[in-house]
Amino acid sequence: MLPRLLSAEAFGTFCLVFAGTGAVVVNEVTAGGVTHVGVALTFGLVVMAMVYTLGNVSGCHVNPAVTVGLCAAGRFDRCLVLPYIGSQCVGAFLASGTLRILFPGSRTLGATIPAGSDLQSLVLEFLLTMILMFVILSVSAGGGDEKSLGGIVIGGVIGLEALFAGPISGASMNPARSLAPAVVSMHLDHVWIYIVAPLTGALVAGPLWHFMCSPPCGAPGDNGRCS
């Protein structure tokens, strides 16, 4: 049922953006009460929770780059790409709108803004998303044990990448997560970075995964896992 899938994607993305960028906003209004580590953990934990909550419903992409990457890797129906992305953006904008109401004094609403040059953040976001997409492809191709730990692994990677790259690029890895607060707060100068870099990073991850971890590199019948 398409409405069920799209509702799950919208809800999951709402939770991701509300909790993740909400942590950024609360950290600002409390003068560091959440801390950078707390913000990174929030992003990782909310994604982990959503994977286990909605993974069996819609796959819990909650990220246009993930949707595009899975489609390019032949793991997702191309007819569903635009509806999924539209639902993810709806959820993200609802979350940013809610945060605007709750925190009217917030200047950026947790928008991702480069701390250094645009090129630096562009490369960082490309690499971060490529790594994340590679992990998602590997976990989703595994057997029962790998899939059962998928939420922990994916959430852990997001938290890890946010820990070390967040102070520089924001560690978005997600066009919807960056687009919504940027539009609602009207900080649009750098938003192109967080659309272009995650999408291209996710597209590159597919061929890289197929080269290293698709069935030809392992024993026949290994479900695409490397030995």
Q: For residue range 93-119, list pLDDT tens digits in order.
A: 999 999 999 999 999 999 999 999 999
Q: How many CB atoms lie within 10 A of CB 183?
A: 18
- Look at residue 141 in the predicted model and tell me its pLDDT: 82
- Looking at the domain assignment, is residue 189 inside a domain? yes
- Look at residue 222 in the predicted model and tell me its pLDDT: 45
- Assess whether pLDDT exceeds 80 at residue 65: yes
- Looking at the domain assignment, is residue 74 inside a domain? yes
Q: What is the total count of domains within the chain?
A: 1
Q: In this structure, what CATH number is given to the domain that contains residue 36?
A: 1.20.1080.10
- Look at residue 223 in the predicted model and tell me its pLDDT: 43
Which residue stretches of 59-117 are H helix? Answer: 64-72, 81-102
- Looking at the domain assignment, is residue 227 inside a domain? no
Q: For residue range 4-34, list pLDDT tens digits in order.
A: 999 999 999 999 999 999 999 999 999 999 9
- Looking at the domain assignment, is residue 64 inside a domain? yes
Confidence category of residue 43, pLDDT binned at 50, 70, 90: very high
> CB–CB of 172/101 below 8 Å?
no
Confidence category of residue 140, pLDDT binned at 50, 70, 90: confident
What's the mean pLDDT in 117-129?
98
- Assess whether pLDDT exceeds 60 at residue 225: no
- Looking at the domain assignment, is residue 222 inside a domain? no
Range of the structural domain that residue 195 is part of: 2-217
What's the mean pLDDT in 36-58?
97
- Assess whether pLDDT exceeds 80 at residue 124: yes
- Looking at the domain assignment, is residue 223 inside a domain? no
Q: How many CB atoms lie within 10 A of CB 112?
A: 26
- Looking at the domain assignment, is residue 99 inside a domain? yes
> What's the predicted TM-score (pTM) here?
0.92
What's the mean pLDDT in 209-220?
68
Q: For residue range 143-165, list pLDDT tens digits in order.
A: 666 668 889 999 999 999 999 99
- Looking at the domain assignment, is residue 140 inside a domain? yes
The upper half-sphere exposure of residue 132, i.e. CA atoms within 13 Å in the direction of its Cβ, equals 35
> CB–CB of 92/159 below 8 Å?
no
Contacts of 129 (CB under 8 A, 6+ apart): 65, 173, 197, 198, 199, 201, 202, 205
